Structures are given as structure tokens and as C-alpha cells.
């Protein structure tokens, strides 16, 4: 390299490119091992930078009420959200049911939502409270259009109490082919349930929509590649009664009156805040009100109510709050329940694809809260306060695929009172053009650039001069250029879902992966994150196969550009072009991902086709001239 700096004309000297190429490829192998070592050792030695403060939150537990004008009615809208977006109250996730490539896409507008799915079962649920005594009927319906089919949609309505054995289950289904539209719905006479279940007047209900491309029959899932596109519109969840009812709005809050659900509360149903509520007019009846979201609303008869609010853990209630209020006719009542909370304010930089956060008290497994979060990360996470030691652990995504990353970012503190914890996490990564890399990858990038320069310069013969025009006119140049360009293009793409645990809404987020097979690595990203370099879990064993099947054939093919007999069919040259495509084919059975070919692999497969086409066209033109 010193010769290049002293004499720019050294590029014209025979054999220089080959020497540079050999130096670069040896350096790349060494840098690969060194880069992996750096990625493995540095995060544990240096670690991410985590700073936190712990500030007591003033205030006491209790309840507040606020009345506002509202006309009583006998018809009510419980829920009518057709957006199915992560911001909606729908809890959405999916699971893959065969070995074909999966796909999930959704587009929401003012009318409804379009889903494009392949080889997955989509699960959408919505939770609410049901007044068994005062509601007469509850109706759920949704309009379904199969844009491409067939598609099967199952509807399930569960009415159950999470705190006793009462349970009822109702279902319906709809199967549509391409172009068909249908309405799927259920009508439930809840007053019948009240007459059967006796003193229970208020309980919970869950609406579940399950969507299957093709069929819901699991025996047929592995037999074909199943795909469908559909629209869901006019979601309607309503109730009616024979007597006028008025809204009761309930919100779980911290001791300062801030909603625990803004923006995120982690609620474990084994450790849930709820209200055991009794009406003065029906003293022998009881009901459990479980607020699922901020300002959760049910409809009740005007009158006097009393009860106990608390954290219901298994079969006992703690942190009890006496509740007593009166709802007047033609008014609505807002009930705020102030619990002792731990509020965690989180700031993360840079925007990694996702984080796993575990918060747990040392009192039992039911006091553990786990979430996976993707950008934009929630500013605030609330959990219920307990008088115990609290541990918070944050794990960034692993740098090697499917590897478990230890929770190196840990906070441990004793919780004696309501607390606000401010966490500032600086992840130990650099940002380069929207890609997050570590010190190890910086070294790999520079060696990779040297490798590409050496590959181009090595196209000269040992005893020939270097001529760019001759290079470009050679029919072997453009196929080699395609193979070389594929290094910078993704060969395969895949998607996978990560479930948010104990989240009030949103369900899951999608992780996109782009695989760069020649480099044995990929880029992981989510909707609003930077891309993160992730190495193959078999990086070290895969390096020799990458060199043998990609880099050496590319070197050999590039080195013969400009040699004699350029219009003759050379089987060795053909093998050197087919070898990279064969390497990509070998990737498919050895990865747990369901992969879709991307531009890089398409370009590699097009290279031998381009070369053969050039030879055929040349021979055809030559024959016509004769």
C-alpha cells in the first residue's frame, strides 16, 4: 500500500491487484474472528451506559369521583374500533403453522383494516366488563371481505369471571372465497346468564377473532402454501337494556392522579387492580370491575354503590381502598382509583430494534412483569408497588442470531413507598448511515472495502497491462459485476413476531431481517428503529464455505476478465458463476427462519443467465453476418 501512495501509476503494474486481493482476503478472515471476539467480549467488559435516579412520589391511596352531564340510554356502544392498529385496544398476535414462508401486513384507514397474511393464524382479542343484571343482550358483529381467498374467520365470545369458576363460551364462523363479503356476529342474552349465575351481576368478557388463510383445519396446513387478503370493517360491539343506564368510567391511577395506562401499564392478571362492587338496591349481589384501559366504561343503573378496590392476587386482596359513590340519573361518573405505583421513565439511545425488560419483586412469581418493546419506546411504564426489593433488568438484542443475551443492564433497589425511577440507557453501539455497528464491525467494514478494491484490481493478468475499456467490453465483466454487487444487497428477507407480555393493547411487533449471505450476517430492524448487524450463529464454521463457494469463485472469475477466448464457452467460468447461487441455495435448509429471496440472490442467479445470453446473442449475430 505504501507503493500506491508513493506512485499512483502503480495501479497499472501487472500482478499488484492479485497481491492486494490476497492480503485483503487473509485480513478479512482474521478480522472476522477478531470482530466476533470484540462483539463477544466488549459488551461484557465495557457494557452499555445506564444511569438512573429514584425519586419518592408523594400522595396517598384512595378514590376520587367526578360527575358530568350524560343522558341515560337503553342502547350503548361498548366498542367500535375497526383500525386493528398497535395503538388500538385490540390485542393482536399471530403464530406460524407450517414451514412455508410467512407474511403479515396490515393497512388501516377510516373505514377498516386490510390484512395480507400467508401461513399464519391471526389472533385478535378485546377485553371488557359486562353488566349481567342490567344488560338484556350483547351483540358483536364485523363485516369481512375476502379480497383473495379462501379465508376462514372464527368468532369466540367468552363471558367469565377471573376470580371464580363462572364461565360461558359462544362461537360462530365464516368462510369466504375471493370476492365474497359476509357479516360475522353473535347475539348473547346476558340476562339468562344472570339468572343462572345468581348473585354475580358484573363480570368480564373477551371477544376473540381468529383468521386463517385457506382453512382452520390443522391437518391441511402442511399440504399447501396458504395465503389470503381480507378487509375487516364496521366492527360493532353493542348492548341494550329495558331500563335507562348511565356511564360509569373507571381509571387506575398513581397517587398523584396520573393514569397508570398512560402510555403503558403492565397488568398481570394474577396481580390485577379491581373493584368488588355492590349496589345498594341489590345488597346480596356482587360484581368484579376490572379496568382494562384508561377510562374504561360500563353502563349501570343510577343509584348508590359501594365496595372495595384492591390488588387481587390469587385469593386475597391487598392495598384495599374503600369505594362509595352515587350515580344520579342523566349523569356519568368518573371513578379514579389511586394505587401505590412504581413509575419507570425510560430513555434509550440509539434506537435499537427492541428491548426486553423484566421487573420483578422478590415475593413470588406472580409479581414478575416481562415486556418486549420496540421503538418508539414508551416514555413511562407503571407497575404496582410492593414493599419488597425490586429488580429491573434490560437486555438489548443479541448480536448473534438466536443467542440469549444476558441482562447486563440491571437495577436493584428496595421499594418502601411509591417511586418514580428515571432510566437513561446508552447502548454501546455506533450509528453509521442508519446501521448500528460495534467496534468489531468497523474493522470488518474497512477490510471488506479493501477486499472489493483488490477484487477489481486483480482482474489483470500477471503479464498484461491494465485497460479499463477492454475490461468493460468483455462479456464476462457484467456477470462478475452482478455477483460483486450482491455483496451489498440482501439475499433473503424474513419476518418474525415478538409478543408483548401483559400489555394492555398492541399485541406484538414485527422484526424484519435482511440476510447478507456472503458476509454471514444480517440486519434486524423494526418499524421505527435503526438496523442492527446480527451475525449468523454459525459464523465461524460458515466462513470457510463462504470463501470456497463465493469469494474464491468470484476472485477466479474476475481474474479471467480480459483473457483470450472471451466469446468461448468456459465451463470453469460457468461453475464460478453458479457457485455463489448454489451457496445461497444451501442457506435455506440450515436456518430456522422462513426466507424470501431478495434482490441480492436474484442478482446472483441472473449472473450466469446473463453470461450465457451474451454468448448466444454473439453467436447468433455472427451466424447472420455469414
Q: Is the pLDDT of residue 44 over 50?
A: no
CA-closest candidate to residue 74, choices 334, 301, 331, 288: 301
User: For 14-23, 292-301, 366-375, 416-425, which range has the lowest pLDDT when averaged over its residues?
Assistant: 14-23
Per the domain annotation, does 243 fall within a domain? yes
CA-closest candidate to residue 376, choices 589, 530, 177: 530
Are 615 and 574 in contact by the 8 Å Cβ rule? The answer is no
Mean of all residue pLDDT scores within the chain:
80
Q: Is 187 strand, coil or helix?
A: strand
Position 158 scores a pLDDT of 92
Bond from prior residue into 263 cis (ω within 30 degrees of 0):
yes
The answer on 294 and 319 residing in a single domain is yes
Position 1 scores a pLDDT of 42
Last residue of a domain, one of 315, 338, 361: 338
Determine how β-strand 380-384 pairs with β-strand 264-265: parallel
- Determine the average pLDDT of the residues in 372-394: 81
Q: Is 58 strand, coil or helix?
A: coil
Per the domain annotation, does 174 fall within a domain? yes
Q: How many domains does the chain have?
A: 3
Last residue of a domain, one of 391, 426, 461: 426
Q: What CATH number does residue 420 fall under?
A: 2.60.40
The answer on 361 and 293 residing in a single domain is no
Position 458 scores a pLDDT of 55
Position 505 scores a pLDDT of 45
440: left (phi over 0), alpha (psi -120 to 50) or beta: alpha
Query: Could you tell me what percent of the chain has a pLDDT over 90?
Result: 28
Q: What is the pTM of this model?
A: 0.77
Are 244 and 73 in contact by the 8 Å Cβ rule? The answer is yes
The answer on 229 and 90 residing in a single domain is yes
Q: Is 159 strand, coil or helix?
A: strand
Are 132 and 285 in contact by the 8 Å Cβ rule? The answer is no
Hey, how many other C-beta atoms are within 10 angstroms of the C-beta on 199? 12
Position 55 scores a pLDDT of 86
The answer on 468 and 409 residing in a single domain is no
For the stretch 323-341, pLDDT in tens is 999 999 889 999 999 988 8
| 35 — pLDDT class (breaks 50, 70, 90) | low
Please name every residue paired with 64 in a beta bridge, in sequence order, or none if there are none: 336
| 45 — pLDDT class (breaks 50, 70, 90) | very low
- Determine the average pLDDT of the residues in 526-535: 86
The answer on 178 and 141 residing in a single domain is yes
Higher pLDDT, 502 or 427: 427
Q: Is the pLDDT of residue 187 over 80?
A: yes
Per the domain annotation, does 29 fall within a domain? yes
The answer on 179 and 320 residing in a single domain is yes
Position 9 scores a pLDDT of 46
CA-closest candidate to residue 82, choices 45, 56, 108, 54: 108
User: For 64-78, 203-217, 465-479, 559-573, which range has the lowest pLDDT when averaged over its residues?
Assistant: 465-479
Grid cell of 454 as nine digits: 483488490
Please name every residue paired with 431 in a beta bridge, in sequence order, or none if there are none: 436
Higher pLDDT, 88 or 268: 88
User: For 291-295, 445-449, 614-618, which range has the lowest pLDDT when averaged over its residues?
Assistant: 445-449
The answer on 584 and 619 residing in a single domain is yes
Position 7 scores a pLDDT of 45
Q: Is the pLDDT of residue 572 over 90?
A: no
Give backbone dihedrals phi and psi of 57, rounded to 5 degrees, phi first: -105, 120
Q: Which residue range(s) make up the domain with 373? A: 48-58+342-426
Position 315 scores a pLDDT of 45
The answer on 348 and 318 residing in a single domain is no
- Determine the average pLDDT of the residues in 553-581: 83
CA-closest candidate to residue 409, choices 471, 347, 476: 347
Per the domain annotation, does 30 fall within a domain? yes
Please report where in the chains the cell 360475522 appears, as a residue: 184
Q: Is the pLDDT of residue 113 over 60?
A: yes
Length of the chain: 626
Per the domain annotation, does 4 fall within a domain? no
- Determine the average pLDDT of the residues in 68-82: 92
For the stretch 205-245, pLDDT in tens is 999 999 999 888 887 777 778 899 999 999 999 999 999 99
Query: Could you tell me what percent of the chain has a pLDDT over 70?
Result: 79
Per the domain annotation, does 1 fall within a domain? no
Are 94 and 122 in contact by the 8 Å Cβ rule? The answer is yes
| 452 — pLDDT class (breaks 50, 70, 90) | low
H or E element that contains 198? none
The answer on 620 and 540 residing in a single domain is yes
For the stretch 134-185, pLDDT in tens is 999 999 999 999 999 899 999 999 998 776 778 899 999 999 999 999 999 9
CA-closest candidate to residue 287, choices 188, 155, 190: 190
- Determine the average pLDDT of the residues in 451-457: 57
Q: Is the pLDDT of residue 127 over 70?
A: yes
Last residue of a domain, one of 298, 317, 338: 338
- Determine the average pLDDT of the residues in 288-296: 88
The answer on 391 and 311 residing in a single domain is no
The answer on 201 and 86 residing in a single domain is yes
Position 234 scores a pLDDT of 95
CA-closest candidate to residue 91, choices 501, 521, 513, 586: 501
CA dihedral 9, 13, 18, 23 (to 10 degrees): -50
CA angle 382, 385, 388 (to 5 degrees): 135
Q: Is the pLDDT of residue 18 over 80?
A: no
Q: Is the pLDDT of residue 557 over 90?
A: no
Position 27 scores a pLDDT of 55
Q: Would you call 542 exposed, middle or buried from its count of C-beta atoms within 10 A (0-12, 13-18, 19+)?
A: buried
The answer on 184 and 154 residing in a single domain is yes
Q: What CATH number does residue 246 fall under?
A: 2.60.120.260
Position 12 scores a pLDDT of 44
Position 282 scores a pLDDT of 92
Q: How far is CA 63 from the centre of its chain?
A: 37
- Determine the average pLDDT of the residues in 426-450: 74
CA-closest candidate to residue 292, choices 422, 205, 234: 205
Amino acid at each position: 500500500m505504501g507503493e500506491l501512495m508513493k506512485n499512483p501509476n502503480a495501479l497499472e503494474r501487472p500482478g499488484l491487484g492479485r497481491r492486494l486481493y490476497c492480503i485483503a482476503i487473509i485480513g478479512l478472515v482474521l478480522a472476522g474472528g477478531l470482530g466476533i471476539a470484540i462483539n463477544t467480549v466488549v459488551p461484557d467488559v465495557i457494557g452499555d451506559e445506564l444511569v438512573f435516579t429514584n425519586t419518592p412520589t408523594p400522595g396517598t391511596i384512595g378514590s376520587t369521583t367526578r360527575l358530568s352531564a350524560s343522558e341515560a340510554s337503553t342502547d350503548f356502544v361498548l366498542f367500535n374500533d375497526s383500525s386493528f392498529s398497535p395503538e388500538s385496544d385490540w390485542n393482536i398476535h399471530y403464530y406460524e403453522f407450517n414451514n412455508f414462508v410467512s407474511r403479515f401486513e396490515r393497512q388501516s384507514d377510516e373505514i377498516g383494516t386490510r390484512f395480507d397474511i400467508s401461513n399464519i393464524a391471526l389472533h385478535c382479542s378485546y377485553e371488557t366488563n359486562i353488566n349481567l343484571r342490567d344488560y338484556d343482550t350483547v351483540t358483536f358483529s364485523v363485516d369481512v371481505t375476502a379480497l383473495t381467498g379462501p379465508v376462514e374467520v372464527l368468532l369466540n365470545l367468552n363471558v367469565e369471571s377471573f376470580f371464580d369458576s363462572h364461565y360461558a363460551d359462544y362461537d360462530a364462523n365464516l368462510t369466504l372465497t375471493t370476492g365474497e363479503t359476509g357479516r360475522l356476529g353473535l347475539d348473547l342474552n346476558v340476562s339468562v346468564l344472570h339468572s343462572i349465575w345468581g348473585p354475580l351481576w358484573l363480570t368480564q368478557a373477551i371477544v376473540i377473532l381468529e383468521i386463517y388463510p385457506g382453512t382452520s383445519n390443522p391437518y391441511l396446513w402442511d399440504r399447501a402454501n396458504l395465503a389470503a387478503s381480507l378487509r375487516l370493517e364496521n366492527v360493532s360491539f353493542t348492548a341494550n337494556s329495558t331500563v335507562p343506564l348511565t356511564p360509569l368510567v373507571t381509571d387506575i391511577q398513581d397517587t398523584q392522579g396520573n393514569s397508570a395506562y398512560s402510555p403503558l401499564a403492565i397488568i398481570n392478571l394474577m396481580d390485577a387492580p379491581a373493584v368488588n362492587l355492590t349496589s345498594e338496591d341489590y345488597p346480596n349481589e356482587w360484581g368484579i370491575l376490572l379496568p382494562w384501559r384508561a377510562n374504561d366504561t360500563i353502563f349501570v343503573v343510577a343509584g348508590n354503590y359501594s365496595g372495595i378496590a384492591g390488588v387481587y392476587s390469587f385469593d386475597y386482596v391487598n392495598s384495599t381502598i374503600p369505594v362509595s359513590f352515587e350515580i344520579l340519573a342523566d349523569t356519568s361518573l368518573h371513578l379514579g382509583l389511586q394505587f401505590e405505583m412504581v413509575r419507570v421513565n425510560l430513555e434509550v439511545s440509539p434506537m435499537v430494534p427492541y428491548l426486553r425488560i423484566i421487573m420483578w419483586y422478590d415475593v413470588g412469581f406472580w409479581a414478575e412483569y416481562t415486556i418486549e418493546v420496540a421503538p418508539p419506546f414508551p416514555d413511562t411504564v407503571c407497575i404496582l408497588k410492593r414493599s419488597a426489593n425490586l429488580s429491573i433488568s434490560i437486555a438489548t438484542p443479541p448480536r448473534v442470531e438466536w443467542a440469549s443475551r444476558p441482562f447486563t443492564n440491571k437495577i436493584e433497589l428496595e421499594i418502601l413507598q411509591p417511586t418514580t425511577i428515571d432510566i437513561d440507557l446508552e447502548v454501546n453501539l455506533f450509528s453509521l448511515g442508519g446501521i448500528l455497528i460495534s467496534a468489531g464491525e468497523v474493522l470488518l467494514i474497512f477490510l471488506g472495502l479493501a477486499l472489493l478494491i483488490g477484487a477489481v484490481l486483480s482482474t489483470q493478468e500477471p503479464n498484461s497491462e491494465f485497460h479499463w475499456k477492454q475490461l468493460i467490453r468483455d462479456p464476462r465483466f457484467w456477470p462478475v459485476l452482478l455477483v460483486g454487487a450482491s455483496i451489498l444487497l440482501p439475499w433473503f428477507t424474513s419476518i418474525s413476531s415478538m409478543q408483548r407480555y401483559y400489555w394492555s393493547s398492541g399485541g406484538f411487533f414485527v422484526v424484519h431481517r435482511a440476510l447478507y449471505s456472503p458476509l454471514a450476517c444480517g440486519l434486524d430492524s423494526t418499524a421505527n428503529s435503526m438496523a442492527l448487524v446480527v451475525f449468523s450463529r454459525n459464523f465461524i464454521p460458515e466462513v470457510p464455505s463462504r470463501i470456497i463457494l463465493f469469494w474464491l469463485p468470484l476472485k477466479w472469475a474476475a481474474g479471467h476478465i480480459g483473457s483470450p477466448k472471451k466469446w468461448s464457452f468456459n465451463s470453469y467460468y460457468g461453475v464460478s458463476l453458479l457457485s455463489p447461487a448454489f451457496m445461497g441455495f444451501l442457506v435455506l435448509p440450515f436456518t430456522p427462519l422462513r426466507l424470501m429471496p431478495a434482490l441480492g440472490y436474484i442478482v446472483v442467479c441472473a449472473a450466469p443467465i446473463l453470461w450465457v445470453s451474451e454468448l448466444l446473442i454473439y453467436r447468433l449475430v455472427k451466424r447472420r453476418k455469414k
